Amino acid sequence: MVYLTRKEHFNAAHQVVNPKWSEEKNKDVFGKCANKNWHGHNYDLYVTVKGNPNPETGFIMNVKELSLIIKDQVLNKLDHKNLNLDVPEMKDKFPTTENLSIEIWKMLEPYISECKLHCVKLWETDNIYTEYFGE
C-alpha cells in the first residue's frame, strides 16, 4: 500500500464568533478572529489517498484526476469565498480549521473510488494546520 498526496490552494474570508455569546466573550475567546468585518487566509490543502499501484499505469490513482476532483468538489466551493456566507456546507458551523477539514473530507470522500481517501490536511497559516482521517 502506497500513500499519494496532492497539494492544492485556496483563499477565503471568515470570522469566528459564537452568536450565543456577548461581543466581549467572543473577543475573549476568539480574539482578532472575531472581527465583524471579516479577515482571511491563504489555505494550503493536502489530500492523501492510499492504495496499491495499478499494474497498467503504476499509479494508485491518476494525480491529475485527484487534482480535478479537489478542484470540482472543494475549490469551486471555497476559493475566494466567504466561509460564513457563501458555503452551504459550513452553515451553522464555526468555520475553524478543525471543522473545515472535516467538511472537506465529506466533500471529497464520495468521489474517491479507485483507492481510499486517507487524510485531509489543512494549513490555515504557516504556523497552524489540522488533519482529519475520517473518524
**Residue 33 catalytic?**
yes
119: annotated active-site residue: no
Query: Closest approach of Cβ 110 to a second copy, in Å?
Result: 20
Q: Name the nearest CA neighbour of 73 among 123, 124, 111.
A: 111
Contact 48, 22 (CB under 8 A): no
Which stretches of the chain bind a second copy, using CB under 8 A? 1-9, 11-14, 16, 18, 29-33, 35, 37-42, 53, 56-60, 62-64, 79-82, 85-86, 93-99, 101-102, 125-133, 135
End-to-end CA distance of the chain: 20
Q: Give yes or no: 80 in active site.
A: yes
Residues forming the active site: 33, 80, 124
